[in-house]
């Protein structure tokens, strides 16, 4: 049974996804907004000519009808690709969006945006921040850097930006406690931990006990988020409901997931029990 918490758990649509939509597209973001999710996560990369686009992988191969590395392609080349037709014909013609287009799609919706910063030679932190400022979205964006140095850089560029520390490390290995502590000390407003780290850290069998790591971060005043995808088996794709329930029981404050509808059902069932 899910223990009801004193706080709401944020459900974040990973890569803008809700069921049936092509990831990291404007259509996906609009679908997540229409479905009532309070936050959407997307991935930022830069093209060879410095345009900030939304793309998870290093290459466009998996999610478009083209091929090549994002950082080696021009914006015009990436813009010519179809990023939706592989999911369903009704999404044919969806382009790889720019960061600005996603900000514009969310404007006025009340939906928050989590941006996963994918490091690259042409992705400039200051440009990300200034564009966020020009769009009036500083209070609506949660920045996700992958190094403590980048975290400090974003805080320097605009101290009002909230930062989610995406602590690096192999997700199926033991957690790097020193790296987690470094992100906390560097000023992360929230900390992302992988589900296997949380489950490995748990001091008893599933369904009982606590996560000392989560308790430690809560003691430092740091909310804990996690990325719980079935696609990459962050949670068991055969039993996602059980893993989501356990993450909630252990005290996570936010869940970025490719099954946001299921996560919302689990939370609703826990609140009603």
Q: Which residues are catalytic?
A: 14, 56
Contact (CB, 8 A) for 151 and 187: yes
CA distance 230 to 244: 11
Q: Which residue matches tokens 């080349």?
A: 77
Q: What are phi and psi of 165, to 5 degrees?
A: -75, 110
CA distance 125 to 254: 25
CA distance 114 to 16: 10
Q: Is 157 exposed, middle or buried (0-12, 13-18, 19+ CB in 10 A)?
A: middle
């Amino acid at each position: 049974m899910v223990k009801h918490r004193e706080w709401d758990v944020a459900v974040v649509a990973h890569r803008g996804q809700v069921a049936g939509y092509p990831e990291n597209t404007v259509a996906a973001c609009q679908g997540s907004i229409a479905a009532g999710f309070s936050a959407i996560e997307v991935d930022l990369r830069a093209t060879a000519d410095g345009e900030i686009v939304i793309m998870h992988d290093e290459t466009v191969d998996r999610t478009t009808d083209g091929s090549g590395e994002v950082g080696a392609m021009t914006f015009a080349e990436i813009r010519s690709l179809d990023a939706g037709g592989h999911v369903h014909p009704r999404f044919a013609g969806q382009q790889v969006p720019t960061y600005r287009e996603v900000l514009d799609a969310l404007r006025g919706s009340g939906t928050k945006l989590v941006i996963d910063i994918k490091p690259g030679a042409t992705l400039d932190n200051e440009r990300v921040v200034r564009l966020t400022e020009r769009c009036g979205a500083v209070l609506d964006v949660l920045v996700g850097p992958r190094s403590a140095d980048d975290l400090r850089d974003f805080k320097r560029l605009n101290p009002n930006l909230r930062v989610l520390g995406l602590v690096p490390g192999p997700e199926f290995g033991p957690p790097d406690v020193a790296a987690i502590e470094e992100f906390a000390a560097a000023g992360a407003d929230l900390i992302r931990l992988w589900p296997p780290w949380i489950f490995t850290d748990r001091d008893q069998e599933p369904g009982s006990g606590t996560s000392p790591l989560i308790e430690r971060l809560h003691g430092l005043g740091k909310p804990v988020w996690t990325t719980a995808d079935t696609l990459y088996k962050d949670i068991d794709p055969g039993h996602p409901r059980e893993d989501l329930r356990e993450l909630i029981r252990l005290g996570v404050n936010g869940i970025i997931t490719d099954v946001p509808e299921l996560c919302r059902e689990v939370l609703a069932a826990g609140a009603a029990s």
